[in-house]
Amino acid sequence: MDTQFLQSFVMVVESGSMAEAARRLDITPAAVAARVKSLEEAMGAALVRRAGRTVKPTEAGLRILNHSRGVLRDVRNLHALANDDASLGEWRLGVSASALTGVVPPLLRGLYEKHPKLAVYMEPGNSSMLYQRVTGGMLDAAVIVEPQFTLPKSLGWQVLVEEPLCVLAPAAMAGRDPLVLLASEPFIRYDRSMWGGRMADTWLREHQIQPQERIEIDALNAIATFVHQGLGVSLVPDWTPPWPEGLELARIPLPPPAPVRRMGLVWSEGPKAALARLLLAEAPRIWSALGAGKVAGADG
């Protein structure tokens, strides 16, 4: 059986959509559908069904879902065992969207300097989803926004960077009162289903500011572009660079004490916990070399 069939089936179930699964796998929706159909023919049972605009697993699909995930993990570990870092196996790492380009690449570079043959399976997503996948055993670790609740003892947690909330405004508005901007200008809201977006929403409520909401979206780079185009102002974390190039923006601090979004690593205290500690051990050296000023515990 081709493991790509299993991969496509699992991705369809997890994303709830043939189109989204295709986007994540970088193939066409028709190819995803063909792979799932081939798997169904091999299994002799229907594995997924349409429910409105989403795709859900059938009872047969649910029965094989966890086993399918296990087979895919085993296959990836077989590839990892052929490398020099065989004892480490493959590390399944989730990464929230805003950490993909800023926080994670330099940390992985430091890790690969000492373990060049390490195999990493990286899965993007939002913090809430990735946290659930770590607790469910589908991921070994994830770089996410700090959860606003107590973590179980089976998980480890370490803050990597601190990103205070700021008002993002067109460059021409630099120097203006951030509270006045939020109350008077059209508002581009950071999606409240995101943990960072909830933090921004809580701060607005605490300060009794009812913004003139125009757009709500969960993509920080898109928010920056919308603000640059003069569509409004926003309240977002001052996230770790790189930011989109060529934008004329003002990042206006909030009056102290400003809430801070903390990005960190959450990991399962299982067989792969050593990899999380290896990455964390490299973090201070990497951030120091980059001159990062927003590192948790750093001066400035």
Q: Which pLDDT tens digits describe the chain residue by residue (300 residues)?
A: 678 888 899 889 988 989 988 888 888 989 999 999 999 999 999 999 988 888 999 999 888 888 887 777 666 655 555 555 445 567 899 999 888 888 899 888 888 887 887 888 899 988 999 999 898 888 999 999 999 889 988 899 999 999 999 999 999 999 999 999 999 999 999 999 888 899 999 999 999 999 999 999 988 999 999 999 999 999 999 988 888 889 999 999 999 999 999 999 999 887 788 888 888 887 887 777 655 444 443 333
Of the candidates 109, 166, 155, the one whose C-alpha atom is nearest the C-alpha of residue 264 is 155
State the helix-helix crossing angle for 18-25 and 29-43, rounded to 10 degrees: 110
Q: In this structure, is residue 18 part of a structural domain?
A: yes
Contacts of residue 123, defined as CB under 8 A and 6 or more positions apart, other chains included, come to 92, 93, 94, 95, 130, 133, 139
* CATH number of the structural domain spanning residue 197: 3.40.190.10
Residue type at 28 in one-letter notation: T
Q: What pLDDT is recorded for position 245?
A: 87
* Final residue before a domain boundary, out of 48, 64, 82: 82
Q: In this structure, is residue 211 part of a structural domain?
A: yes
* Final residue before a domain boundary, out of 82, 107, 128: 82
Give the other-Cβ count within 10 Å of 21's Cβ: 26
Cα 285 to Cα 172: distance, rounded to the nearest angstrom = 38
- Write the Ramachandran bin of 99: left for phi over 0, alpha for psi from -120 to 50, otherwise beta: alpha
Q: What pLDDT is recorded for position 86?
A: 47
Helix (H) or strand (E) holding 120, with range, is strand 119-125
Q: In this structure, is residue 239 part of a structural domain?
A: yes
Q: What pLDDT is recorded for position 275?
A: 85
Structure-token pair, residue 83 = 């490398």
Q: In this structure, is residue 55 part of a structural domain?
A: yes
Which CA distances in Å does 3 have to 27, 68, 197?
15, 9, 37
Name the domain count of the chain. 2
Cα 218 to Cα 242: distance, rounded to the nearest angstrom = 17
Structure-token pair, residue 149 = 């609740």
Q: What pLDDT is recorded for position 113?
A: 83
Of the candidates 14, 71, 9, 63, the one whose C-alpha atom is nearest the C-alpha of residue 38 is 9
* CATH number of the structural domain spanning residue 3: 1.10.10.10
Q: What pLDDT is recorded for position 67?
A: 81
* Final residue before a domain boundary, out of 82, 106, 131: 82
Q: In this structure, is residue 52 part of a structural domain?
A: yes
The sign of the dihedral angle between the CA atoms of 136, 142, 147, 150 is: positive
Give the other-Cβ count within 10 Å of 174's Cβ: 12
Q: Residue written as tokens 């189109």?
A: 19
Q: In this structure, is residue 222 part of a structural domain?
A: yes
Q: In this structure, is residue 284 part of a structural domain?
A: no
Q: In this structure, is residue 243 part of a structural domain?
A: yes
Q: What is the 3-state secondary structure (H, E, C) of 253-286?
A: ECCCCCCEEEEEEEEECCCCHHHHHHHHHHHHHH
Q: What pLDDT is recorded for position 145?
A: 93
Domain range holding 13?
1-82
